Copies of this chain bind each other. A is one copy, B any other.
Amino acid sequence: MARPRSFDPDDVLEIARQVFWQKGFQATSLDEITAASGVAKPSLYAAFGDKNALFLKVLDRYHDGILGWAERTLAQPVPAREAIRRWLTGFIPYCSGEKGQRGCLSINSATDGSLDQADLRKSIERYNRRLEELLRARLRADRAQFRKGFDPDVTAHTIMVVHAGLLALAHQRPDSKQVKAVIDQVMGLLA
């Protein structure tokens, strides 16, 4: 009953993610997203709202993707220690070499002082909380497999810190061997 959309919003969010991830929120102009996606500005505004709203949608999508993968990985029928090792190891390609350069979209956004929009903060906090909950739940479930006095809550947070640190330092393109060595050493805390 009206003219249909000529683009798939999900495709555009995917393209926008790449551009935002590469250049950062501030430095990315809507014209660049228009150029990359082929969708003109008025259509972007009609579909996603203003630049902040668009970025929020991109970030939420990004978070959902990582959370989904974390859920799947941590649900594997292996000891908690092994599941977490696999989860951390899975980040190595994103923490090292060429691909690591861009770091993590969520952390990049969290450390961007200009983004003190309440919505964005909330999205990031929610993401971190849920990620940590996944880790904590897994560690608690397999509590018996660890030494006496093992604290799953603190350990979950420590893993979050290591995870964030690896992705923060990823911008220097460290060698994947070095990242792996750090993960191996930190796994020593899970015993």
Is B114 a contact of A111 with CB atoms below 8 Å? no
Is A112 a contact of B110 with CB atoms below 8 Å? no
1/0 contact string of A147-162 vs chain B (CB within 8 Å)? 0000100110110111
A107 nearest CB neighbor, chain B only: B168
A2 within 8 Å of B (CB atoms): no
Q: Is the interface of A mostly helix, strand, loop or mixed?
A: helix
Tell me which residues across on chain B come within 8 A of A53, comparing CB atoms. Answer: none
Report the bound CA distance from A103 to B154 in whole Å. Answer: 21
Is A158 a contact of B172 with CB atoms below 8 Å? no
Chain A interface residue count, CB cutoff 8 Å, equals 42
Please name 22 pairs of A and B residues whose Cβ atoms are closer than 8 Å in the assembled complex, sorted by A.
A22-B113, A23-B113, A24-B112, A24-B113, A26-B27, A27-B114, A103-B113, A108-B111, A108-B112, A110-B169, A151-B185, A157-B181, A158-B185, A160-B169, A161-B165, A161-B169, A162-B162, A164-B165, A165-B168, A167-B168, A168-B168, A188-B189
Q: Can you name 13 extra interface pairs (CB under 8 A) apart from A157-B178, A160-B169?
A: A21-B113, A26-B114, A103-B111, A111-B111, A111-B171, A154-B185, A158-B182, A162-B165, A163-B165, A164-B165, A164-B168, A165-B168, A189-B189
